[in-house]
């Protein structure tokens, strides 16, 4: 079996987002499988004739999938969130045309891989793709992220002038992330509590989502308690792991997620998770977090307060549940299940 993973549509920004992490770690672990098959990355059309091409990224409003296929084809659709919230992800005329092109290209795909049952249902509903050709393959946390030492925590907090008591959010700033609501809920909490937000786009006020964040911070008068970190190194991941480790809790406020990698990263670092019930998050987290309705800011604030007030015994129960939950996920499992899909596709006439 000769498999090409086509990364030609992954731009520089994607490499830092979930789709880039997925592609990198999937490729690494496929190569570690004890098979005689070959796996390669390609950024352009080559003269090679693989048995199967895997496109690890699908965008509903951009041309990421060829209409004419060179081989058996598998595509990963992580989510279709822009179609879940169409009023907040305007496609325009060009985007609408590209959407139709993507649908046409999808018609001749042999299999779709997606991250969760939630996303599978969305793909069936919004893309009308046959359910029997959609395979759910869960992702896993970043294997480089684990709890760090108290000395590491002290060093990193000093470097970024962060106090000991803080909440953490890590991720993008898209509409579905619900960050203005998190900031409004946070503004009602104790003045001694800080919020650390990690993401490359947090200071991008050229886009509406960036302006909403900065406007909310100013309107609520919480600039002294909110820390926006946009340049935390991806490699090595020590500083990010340390920010997870030192946090009083990790908060995932999303209106909707197709998976939710950061909640698993938090669990790996031994950090209490507070999460919304948006999209796939309950499916991924199971019972290992305190949940709230993402559209109810009072409930969000109350749940954060409840989490921070847990007795040590109750907190240990949640952390134990998190460690048990993590056993469901690994990149080895992701690679093995993906490989099994490749084989099934190639065996189908």
Task: Name which of 169, 171, 240 is nearest 199 in CA terms.
Answer: 171
Domain that holds residue 278: 150-326
Q: Does 107 share its domain with 156? A: no
What mean pLDDT comes out for the span 11-24?
71
178 vs 164: CA distance, rounded Å:
25
> Which element (helix H / strand E) includes 229?
strand 226-229
Q: What is the pLDDT of residues 289-320, one digit of tens each?
A: 999 999 999 999 999 999 999 999 999 999 99
Name the residue with higher pLDDT: 226 or 233.
226
Task: Name which of 140, 166, 169 is nearest 153 in CA terms.
Answer: 166
Q: Does 131 share its domain with 161? A: no
The CATH number for 169's domain is 3.40.50.2000
Q: Does 179 share its domain with 285? A: yes
Residues composing the chain: 349
* pLDDT at residue 8, as a whole number: 82
* pLDDT at residue 294, as a whole number: 99
Whether residue 13 has pLDDT greater than 70: no
Q: What is the pLDDT of residues 29-85, one digit of tens each?
A: 999 998 878 888 887 666 678 999 999 999 999 999 999 999 999 999 999 999 999
Q: What is the pLDDT of residues 258-292, one digit of tens each?
A: 999 999 999 999 999 999 999 999 999 999 999 99
Q: Does 110 share its domain with 159? A: no
* pLDDT at residue 236, as a whole number: 80
Does any domain span residue 217?
yes
- Could you give the number of structural domains in the chain? 2
Does any domain span residue 108?
yes
The tokens describing 216, both together, are: 């909310």
* pLDDT at residue 106, as a whole number: 98
Does any domain span residue 54?
yes
CA 183 remoteness from chain centre: 20
Is 9 exposed, middle or buried (CB count within 10 Å of its CB: 0-12, 13-18, 19+)?
middle
Does any domain span residue 145?
no
* pLDDT at residue 49, as a whole number: 84
* pLDDT at residue 119, as a whole number: 98
Q: Does 213 share its domain with 235? A: yes
Q: Does 121 share its domain with 87? A: yes
If DSSP codes are grouped into helix, strand and coil, which group holds residue 2? strand
* pLDDT at residue 54, as a whole number: 97
212 vs 228: CA distance, rounded Å:
14
Q: Does 223 share its domain with 335? A: no
- Give me the chain's average pLDDT, please: 95
């Amino acid at each position: 079996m000769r498999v090409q993973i086509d990364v030609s549509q992954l731009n520089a920004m994607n490499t830092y987002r979930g789709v880039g992490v997925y592609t990198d770690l999937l490729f690494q672990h496929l190569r570690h499988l004890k098979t005689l098959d070959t796996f390669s990355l390609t950024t352009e059309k080559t003269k090679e004739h693989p048995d199967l091409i895997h496109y690890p990224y699908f965008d509903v409003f951009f041309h990421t999938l060829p209409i004419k296929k060179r081989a058996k084809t598998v595509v990963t659709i992580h989510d279709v969130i822009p179609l879940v919230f169409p009023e907040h992800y305007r496609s325009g005329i060009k985007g609408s045309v590209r959407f139709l092109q993507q649908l046409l290209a999808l018609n001749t795909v042999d299999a779709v891989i997606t991250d969760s049952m939630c996303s599978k249902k969305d793909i069936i509903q919004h893309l009308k793709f046959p359910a029997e050709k959609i395979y759910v393959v869960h992702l896993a946390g970043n294997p480089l992220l684990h709890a760090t030492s108290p000395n590491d925590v002290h060093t990193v907090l000093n470097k970024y002038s962060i106090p000991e008591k803080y909440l953490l959010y890590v991720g993008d700033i898209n509409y579905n992330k619900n960050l203005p609501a998190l900031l409004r809920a946070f503004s009602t909490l104790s003045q001694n509590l800080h919020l650390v937000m990690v993401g490359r786009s947090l200071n991008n006020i050229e886009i509406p989502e960036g302006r909403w964040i900065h406007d909310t911070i100013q309107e609520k008068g919480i600039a002294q308690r909110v820390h926006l970190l946009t340049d935390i190194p991806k490699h090595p991941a020590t500083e990010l792991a340390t920010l997870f480790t030192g946090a009083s809790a990790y908060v995932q406020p999303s209106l909707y997620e197709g998976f939710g990698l950061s909640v698993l990263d938090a669990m790996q670092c031994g950090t209490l998770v507070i999460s919304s019930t948006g999209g796939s998050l309950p499916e991924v987290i199971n019972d290992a977090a305190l949940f709230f309705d993402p559209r109810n800011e009072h409930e969000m604030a109350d749940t954060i307060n409840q989490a921070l007030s847990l007795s040590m015994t109750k907190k240990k129960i949640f952390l134990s549940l998190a460690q048990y939950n993590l056993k469901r996920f690994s990149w080895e499992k992701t690679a093995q299940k993906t490989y099994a899909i490749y084989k099934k596709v190639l065996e189908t006439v």
